Amino acid sequence: MPSTAPSAAEPDPGPAGTPLPSRELPVPPNYPSGLERDVVSAGSTRIHLRPIRPDDAERLVEFHNHLSPHSSYLRFFTFHPVLSAAEVERFTCVDYENRFALVAEIDDHLVAVGRFDRHLGTSDAEVAFVVADDLQHHGIGSLLLDELAGAARERGITTFLADTLEENHTMLGVFLHSGFPVTKSTEYGTVTLRFSIEETDASRAALALREQARQVISNYPMPERAQEPHAC
């Protein structure tokens, strides 16, 4: 799997170095705990998959700091060694409806992040994900795409859009072998993809093949944490 997301470069909305939210932030009251699960990926790696939370800020910064320069470049389309405080807040504070993100964890460390952002007023959403360098080619990117597509369908989204660099052949393969009917165009080295995520015989067959190499172990119970108004 590649380590990069297929989205266009994200703007830097604020300065780095601003204090980050604490890990003690309460779980948002609309946190979709039913989407938490443990999975053994195609690479025989046990992964905990769950929606992102505001208290992931420090973990997200640590994850980003350990990406190689090349992985970061493929994700943001530019040299982007540090996330600003505004970016961290935007990436970790989502509404779980129009803006949604999943994280993959191993031993409480983030190893991948996937997200979609709806084009407001439409059933289209931009999709993006990034996987840690040392866990590429373990099927985690395909796992995130499958889980994001399922969550998006439940929220009325029917189409995913993505931009990725033409050189990113592995990421392109994730989309083109998803079983979804992908259309693409290329301009100045950037590939723009669009595909319906509605289930079809082809998409179900492709998913079944991927799931043969995966095992969902169990739903992971939510810890008892205060359900107070959160800081985002």
Taking the C-alpha atoms of residue 61 and residue 165, their distance in angstroms, rounded to an integer, is 24
More confident residue, 132 or 76: 132
Query: Within the chain, what is the greatest distance between any pair of CA atoms?
Result: 50
Backbone phi and psi for residue 147, each to the nearest 5 degrees, phi listed first: -70, -40
Backbone phi and psi for residue 116, each to the nearest 5 degrees, phi listed first: -135, 150
The string of pLDDT tens digits covering residues 213-227 is: 887 775 544 444 444
pLDDT at 142: 93
More confident residue, 77 or 54: 54
Residues counted in the chain: 232
Residue 77 pLDDT > 60: yes
CATH number for the domain formed by residue range(s) 33-216: 3.40.630.30
The string over 202-222, giving b where at least 16 C-beta atoms fall within 10 Å of a residue's C-beta and e elsewhere, is: ebeebbeebeeebeeeeeeee
pLDDT at 5: 43
The string of pLDDT tens digits covering residues 4-34 is: 443 333 433 444 444 444 456 778 999 999 9
Q: Is the pTM value of this prediction over 0.85?
A: no
Q: Measuring CA to CA, which residue among 162, 180, 144 is closest to residue 74?
A: 162
Residue 29, both tokens: 């009251």
Taking the C-alpha atoms of residue 114 and residue 102, their distance in angstroms, rounded to an integer, is 5
Distances (CA, A) of 5 to 32, 112, 121, 204: 23, 10, 24, 23
The mean of the pLDDT values for the chain is 83
pLDDT at 71: 86
The string of pLDDT tens digits covering residues 122-143 is: 999 999 999 998 988 888 999 9
Taking the C-alpha atoms of residue 226 and residue 228, their distance in angstroms, rounded to an integer, is 6
Lowest mean pLDDT of 34-48, 54-68, 152-166, 167-181, name the range. 34-48
The string over 99-134, giving b where at least 16 C-beta atoms fall within 10 Å of a residue's C-beta and e elsewhere, is: bbbbbbbeeeebbbbbbbbbeeeeebbbbbbbbbee
| Band (230; pLDDT cuts 50, 70, 90) | low
Question: Which residues, other chains included, contact 121 with Cβ-Cβ below 8 Å and sequence gap of 6+?
Answer: none
Region 157-180: what's the mean pLDDT? Answer: 93
Neighbours of 23 (CB within 10 A): 12
The string of pLDDT tens digits covering residues 37-48 is: 999 876 677 899
Lowest mean pLDDT of 63-67, 208-212, 220-224, name the range. 220-224
- H or E segment and range at residue 142: helix 140-154
Q: Measuring CA to CA, which residue among 47, 23, 95 is closest to residue 215?
A: 47
| Signed CA dihedral, 107, 225, 115, 44: sign only | positive
Region 159-169: what's the mean pLDDT? Answer: 93
| Band (83; pLDDT cuts 50, 70, 90) | confident
Residue 89 pLDDT > 60: yes
